[in-house]
A and B are shown apart, each in its own frame.
Chain A
Amino acid sequence: MSAVLLILRRCALRHWRLALRQQIALMLILALGSSVYLAVRLASNAALSGFETFTDGITRQPDWTVQAVSGALREDDVREMREVLGHRPVSLLPVVEETVTPADEGGNGEIGSRATWRLLGVDFVALLNLRGEAPAGLGANLQAVRSGVYVSPKLGVKVGDELRLIVDDRVITLTVAGVVPETPGVPSLPKHLLLMDLPGAQSVLMRGDKVDRVEVLAHDSALFPQLREETGESLKSRWQVTGGANRRQLAGTMTQAFRLNLTILSLLALLVGGYLIFQALDGVVLRRREEIGILKSLGVTDRAIQMAFLIEAGLLGLCGGALGVLLGWFGAQGAVGGVTKTMNALYGATSEQQAALSWSEALLALSISILASLIAAWWPARMAARTPPAQMLGRHATPFEGGTVWRVEWIGWALMLAAVLLAQLPVLRLASGTRLPLAGYAAALLWLVGAGLVAGAMLRGMGRMGRMSGAVARVALSHLRRPTVRHRFAVAALASAVAMTTGMSVMVASFDHTMRGWIDRTMKADIYVSSAGAQSASSTHLISSKTVETLGKEPEVAELAFVQARTLLWSGGEVLILGVDPVFARKHGLYAWVEAPKRGEWWKADDGITPAIMSESWSERFGTQVGDVIELVGRKVRVVAMNAEYGNERGSLTLPASAFREWFETDEAWRVAIMLKPNVDAEAMRDRMQRQQPGLSVFTNAHLRSEALRIFRQTFAVTHALEVIGVIVAVAGLGLALASLMLERRAILATLRSLGMTRRELAKSAALEGLGVACAGAFTGIVAGLWLGWLLVYRINKQCFGWTLQFHAVWWHLAVLAAAVIAVGVLVAALVGRWAAMLPAEHTEE
């Protein structure tokens, strides 16, 4: 061990000091890899935590959340719960909760741009029983709090201030009755949570005597050791009961696909980064080969040398990882807004949270950095240890040709074949309808690695193409005809990055193309209306039947139809139940059928079983087929058709309006579609409606279409950033690989100079060599990326979201990508060539 430490101190540290810039660059590379991973992870966790039950801000996390099978809960339900629970010491907290939007923050017209707050109504009197578990002071003066609202000090308002808020289609004004101070050890209110006493909240939300849910606190004790479990089991007989961390879990389930995509993408970026780290460490070994040779001659064992390199790599990983944690945290702060916004638009109201760094996340990022560094260093360290001293010290050392695995191209083909086979495997189905396309992701990974290996073959092809050229080209291409492992690595990294970018580009283009077609088919009304508080696809804000009636009475309105909606827990997951006017929908051809109903008037039932249309996501999620009879809120439903619905990935079931109204006892609308009379100016009409109904969001057809597309594009905004990082890393890898090659060839370069080649010619030769590698990488990457795109569109996306997309590639995008990669590759290679041409024959530290 002392030899190892000696090597570290005398060699490694000395090199670190002498080549500080290079070491910093290496650390930055490691930091970049781990920080991307960490930033994505933190941002998505932060966005997800916005989904947590907001009651967590009032009491400790509830053990169970009880909801009605359909509709709301009433006082009788709580009495029944008490009957069921008997003498068990359980706290039951009835809660109403609704998203509200500040009326004075108009947003910029984009869906999701207006702030979404939460209004929580909870019984302040009952909270008094939870001493030490709820903020103090609530309910102290019931008279004062009846119609007032309690807020967090973070909101920056004071007692007596008025808050104008949009609820459903109304603008209400609430007076701040109190600012709840933060007390150590007691849950504090989140910034955007408004708290009201239950009767007051029921009144402003017009809920009558109903509540949305009952939160259950059940402490296990010696007296009732199984209280929590017993309570859950007892209540499940009659109500929908979800567990303690259920909301987060449910939100986690809902957004799993989205988050998984991000994580996998960041891991793929890390894979490309891994190539880079390898190349950089390989270069380190190369520059120190004389020293290694001397040490070996002096009797230092191979094992000690290998260990010293690995420890050095580990230290680099540690420093890079620490830097990565810092960069990742900063990155997360920037990314959290975007990720939250996307999640909000796709999955429902979540409040923007700060991306908090936990020890576990920091350790994970550090471990990834250290592990990546060790894996990347393992092979160069092994080579350093195994190469005989004579070869290390020899001025005309044989160029290093690398491990056999990277030289056997059939392994690449085999990996690609394995990827194709894996892609045929079905999705992994988890509880509550969550689908995990594990085989699909594994196929993507194998395909990328395989394509990287195969890209080496392309290098030889490039080398043969240049037989007719002059001396400079011949020198350059001779290297490509017998590519070293460094060439292979460089081209593999480039091919993987380009393949990843191409695959993503294809997926986004397919999405865009399919969405446009779907929007054309389904969005035919002139004006669409929703609550101004509805800032997401799954918002529960509704429009009263009175408002709908008022809208319908406008003289310019030719036809009006509305969609009703209700979210339900079904088979352990949240689903959307819609009620539509089927005659209107049919008349205007509003459905994009995946499987059309057998009869035109699909809503007519012969056997008393209610007919319904399921979305593709529903079918994918629950395995339901057209023709199946399923049970919903105690009633039988026959699925008669399947439609394409890109509005949500949870799955929706559409009922005829009459059945919906009967089941859910409501005539409130979720979305309203209006057809205007001929020659009516939709924009002017929109403006007028908006003025008359400040609680509503009114969209013209054109605006809503652009918004729908914007939201979907926003979903992929993060992926674009990752693609760019991937390509930058790969091109940087090309530069590093060429630099290592030049260092290795410095004796040859000296010979070529003495034979009369100018420095300019040497640089040109290096640029040509880089061109070859870039072309091979770009070409292989684009071809491999097209299949990756197919995999993402037809397998992973379908399995994750249940949406069928049409394959669509924007060829000019791919051409620009290839051209950019090649151009930047050549530029980097030329710069390296210029630098190498000035290298002295003897090695000196840079």
Chain B
Amino acid sequence: MAQTTADGFAIPQAGRVFEFPRDHGSHPEFRTEWWYVTGHLDAEAGRRFGFQVTFFRQARREDGRTLHLHLAHAALLDAQTGRFVHEERLNREGWDAQSSETTLAARNGNWSLKLDEATQRMRIAATVRSEVLLQLELEAVKPLVVFGKDGVSRKGASAEAASHYLTWPRLKTTGTVKVGTEERQVSGEAWMDHEFSSSQLEAGQVGWDWAAIQLKDGREIMVYRMRRKDGTTDAFSTLAVVERDGKTRHVASDAFSWEVLGKWKSPRNGAEYPIRARIRFEGESFELRPLAEDQEQDGGITRLPYWEGACDVLDAHGQVAGRAFLELAGYAGDLAGHLRSQ
């Protein structure tokens, strides 16, 4: 298997031995990398929030040099009011954005995600549109999971369409959420993906639906389906269950189903997102029901809108069995074209 893409970026290799904290840090030899934190927060008086703070790094060759661009998204949903505040940010590596190559330390403007190696806790600080300030501390309550076979998570038939996919599936989260002048103590649970690759979509694929489900029974489910241009689901879609003891098992793409229950049309760009879905596997059924319809990141800079939202998870009896974050990418804008142009 080739070690690099045609333009010299690394291709994920099976059997890679991860070393930490180094591998929590940046891997500039890969084209694309992200640190993706999503979670659910509870405050006094039943107030509930969904949040997302994500850091991306994307590299490209330019005049024989490599240019790293750092994209970042931050969002907060106030479940009570349905108000969704989000912001997108893009910076060149260097002046106002960096990601460490030795440990987990990513920064984009005043947004930061850092791992305190002494306490093994992560800290997030981010503002959203000068309206929201998130200051959170995250502590893993379950061990780090490496998804995929032999450390490689396949996204398509091409060997390049693969990633190294590391996840903390359940992070105890505490801190404060300040909205305007009101500051609230919050606690909850978050999910963090750290994924690096050199190609996310292969020819024929147009996007993906992804969900991170945290069940009350102590299990977590990571599921994604790669969507093809013809509307079918790619065979390289997958579902993985993280058991209570942290052990992970993968379910093949033909052994689970993703049924769309309802759609929401974006008033901004007309994209139709399948925001309600039912996932079935091994006799279990989980319905993802969003806390608010409009949780669309409008992609003001990249022109790549996507939907990323907090959901409740209902079991087959309609009872709340957990919480989830659902991501629906490639419904607006040319995601595949954008990724190819990188």
Q: Which residues of A contact B (CB under 8 A)?
A: 75, 78-79, 82, 85-92, 94, 123, 125-126, 128-129, 131, 142-143, 146, 198, 219, 221-224, 227
Q: Which of B62, B91, B125, B180 contacts A125 (CB 8 A)?
A: B91
Check if B314 is an interface residue, CB within 8 A of chain A.
no
Interchain CB contact under 8 A, B181 and A87: no
Interface centre among B94, B179, B300, B301 (most CB of A within 10 A): B94
User: Which residues from B are CB-within-8-Å of A227?
Assistant: 130
User: Which residues from B are CB-within-8-Å of A221?
Assistant: 130-131
Interchain CB contact under 8 A, A223 and B133: yes
Interchain CB contact under 8 A, A223 and B110: no
In the complex formed, the residue of A with least CB distance to B107 is A82
Shortest beta-carbon distance from A177 to chain B in Å: 15
A79-B98, A82-B107, A87-B125 given; A125·B130 CB < 8 A: no
Question: A223 CA to B135 CA in the complex, in Å?
Answer: 13
Shortest beta-carbon distance from B182 to chain A in Å: 9
Shortest beta-carbon distance from A643 to chain B in Å: 41
Further contacts, 6 of them, CB under 8 A, given A82-B96, A87-B125, A221-B130: A78-B95, A88-B127, A92-B109, A131-B300, A143-B62, A223-B180
SS of B interface (majority): strand
User: Which residues from A are CB-within-8-Å of B94?
Assistant: 75
9 smallest CB-CB distances across A and B, nearest first, come from A221-B130, A89-B127, A87-B125, A222-B180, A128-B301, A89-B130, A125-B92, A78-B95, A75-B94
User: Which residues from A are CB-within-8-Å of B178?
Assistant: 223
A82-B96, A143-B62, A221-B131 given; A90·B90 CB < 8 A: no
Check if B11 is an interface residue, CB within 8 A of chain A.
no
Shortest beta-carbon distance from A73 to chain B in Å: 10
Shortest beta-carbon distance from A213 to chain B in Å: 13
Check if B89 is an interface residue, CB within 8 A of chain A.
yes
Question: A82 CA to B127 CA in the complex, in Å?
Answer: 14
**10 A-B residue pairings within 8 Å (CB atoms):** A82-B109, A86-B125, A87-B126, A89-B130, A91-B109, A125-B69, A125-B91, A125-B92, A223-B131, A227-B130
Total contacting residues, chain B, CB less than 8 A: 30
In the complex formed, the residue of A with least CB distance to B182 is A222
A131-B301, A223-B178, A223-B181 given; A126·B92 CB < 8 A: yes
Question: A146 CA to B65 CA in the complex, in Å?
Answer: 13
Check if B132 is an interface residue, CB within 8 A of chain A.
yes
User: Which residues from A are CB-within-8-Å of B181?
Assistant: 222-223
User: Which residues from B are CB-within-8-Å of A79?
Assistant: 98
Shortest beta-carbon distance from B88 to chain A in Å: 8
Interchain CB contact under 8 A, A219 and B130: yes
Shortest beta-carbon distance from A221 to chain B in Å: 4
A87-B125, A89-B110, A146-B62 given; A94·B130 CB < 8 A: no
Shortest beta-carbon distance from B142 to chain A in Å: 28
Shortest beta-carbon distance from B82 to chain A in Å: 20
B window 129-183: CB within 8 A of A: 130-133, 135, 178-181
Interface centre among A129, A198, A221 (most CB of B within 10 A): A129
Shortest beta-carbon distance from A755 to chain B in Å: 92
A75-B95, A123-B92 given; A129·B109 CB < 8 A: yes
User: Which residues from A are CB-within-8-Å of B90?
Assistant: 125-126, 128-129
Question: A538 CA to B222 CA in the complex, in Å?
Answer: 64
Question: A125 CA to B108 CA in the complex, in Å?
Answer: 13
In the complex formed, the residue of B with least CB distance to A222 is B180
Question: A90 CA to B300 CA in the complex, in Å?
Answer: 19
Question: A78 CA to B108 CA in the complex, in Å?
Answer: 12
Interchain CB contact under 8 A, A87 and B96: no
Question: A143 CA to B61 CA in the complex, in Å?
Answer: 10
Question: A224 CA to B178 CA in the complex, in Å?
Answer: 10
In the complex formed, the residue of B with least CB distance to A211 is B95
A85-B110, A129-B89 given; A223·B96 CB < 8 A: no
In the complex formed, the residue of A with least CB distance to B89 is A129
- Cβ proximity bits B217-247 to A, threshold 8 Å, 1 near / 0 not: 0000000000000000000000000000000
B window 80-113: CB within 8 A of A: 89-92, 94-96, 98, 107, 109-110, 112
B window 292-331: CB within 8 A of A: 300-301
User: Which residues from B are CB-within-8-Å of A90?
Assistant: 110
User: Which residues from B are CB-within-8-Å of A87?
Assistant: 110, 112, 125-127, 133, 135
Question: A85 CA to B132 CA in the complex, in Å?
Answer: 17
Interchain CB contact under 8 A, A123 and B110: no
User: Which residues from A are CB-within-8-Å of B127?
Assistant: 87-89, 223
Q: Which of A86, A126, A146, A222 contacts B95 (CB 8 A)?
A: A126
